[in-house]
Amino acid sequence: MTQTVLAIGAHPDDVEFMAAGALALLRQKGWEVHTASLTPGDCGTMTRTREEISRIRRAEGAAAAGLLGGTYYCLECDDMFILYDRPALLKVIGLIRRVRPDLVFAPSPDDYMADHENTSRLVWNACFAAGIPNIPTPGDEPFHRIPCLYYMDPVDAKDKYGVPTPADAMVDISAVLYIKTRMLACHASQRDWLLAHHGVDEYLDAMKRHGRLRGRQANCEFAEAFRQHRGHSFPLDNLLTKELGDLVRTAR
């Protein structure tokens, strides 16, 4: 039976920054790939209207997922205003039920902005709640199995206090960096936005720099880092190691 991975970010390019390499490796193993963002990234521009940039960024997210033969979903929350509330949680529960994943990637619980942290909490609780029949999501039937949940790295591999974030699974993505780079390059609007907003033109370089940092810790050229959610009722087996074998390392 084909296994399924679902990677969820707050914004359309979050997954490509932090998990596209692992997604590419799982795809090579025959996995079905799905990606999603809570928002269409409607504040990620200095020149366009919210409607214009949302349309562009949804298309960029779909193009990036398409490079792996995958499907992209946007849950249409508002950029910079992702809340842990009933409407948002129901959207994520519905997505989990629709995709029925074996493995889920979510943002770090501790990151530089609240959109990422609130998305992390929403995904965590949606994975738990997706099998509860008394939570209705019309059109999406309960999913009676809690998937393996892994948290992606925060930006710069540091929490909001500047403390380096630990990881218990380092995935060697050196062989698929070219795919990860192509996926991130699909988000051309964000290169332009970051250049205008931050005054630097290093969209792809920042991703590679992060990969090299984790690669040094994993004794390889480029790596992505994850932490597994091992709380009550969640699967404890390390599915990443089971599927990717020697490509998964522990930090030195």
How many C-beta atoms lie closer than 10 Å to residue 233's C-beta? 8
Q: Is 151 helix (H, G, I), strand (E, B) or coil?
A: strand
Quote the crossing angle between the two packed helices 203-218 and 177-185, to the nearest 10°: 150
pTM: 0.96
List the 71-74 sheet strands across, edge first: 71-74, 32-37, 4-9, 103-106, 148-152, 223-228, 169-172, 248-249
Q: Are 71 and 41 in contact (CB under 8 A)?
A: no
How many C-beta atoms lie closer than 10 Å to residue 67's C-beta? 19
pLDDT at 192 over 80: no
Maximum pairwise Cα distance, the chain: 49
Q: Give the confidence band of 44 by pLDDT, cuts at 50, 70, 90.
A: confident
The H or E element containing residue 105 is: strand 103-106
- Summary count for the chain: helices (H), strands (E): 8, 8
pLDDT at 202: 77
What are the boundaries of each domain within the chain? 4-234
Both structure tokens of 203: 């969209």
Parallel, antiparallel or unpaired: strands 169-172 and 223-228: antiparallel
- Exposure of 103 in the CB half-sphere (CA atoms within 13 A): 27
How many C-beta atoms lie closer than 10 Å to residue 208's C-beta? 17
pLDDT at 250: 81
Which class is domain 4-234?
Answer: alpha beta
Tell me how far apart the alpha carbons of residues 249 and 241 are, in angstroms, rounded to a whole number: 8
pLDDT at 77 over 70: yes
Tell me how far apart the alpha carbons of residues 110 and 123 are, in angstroms, rounded to a whole number: 14
pLDDT at 190: 85
pLDDT digits over 120-172, tens only? Answer: 999 999 999 999 999 999 999 999 999 999 999 999 999 999 999 999 999 99
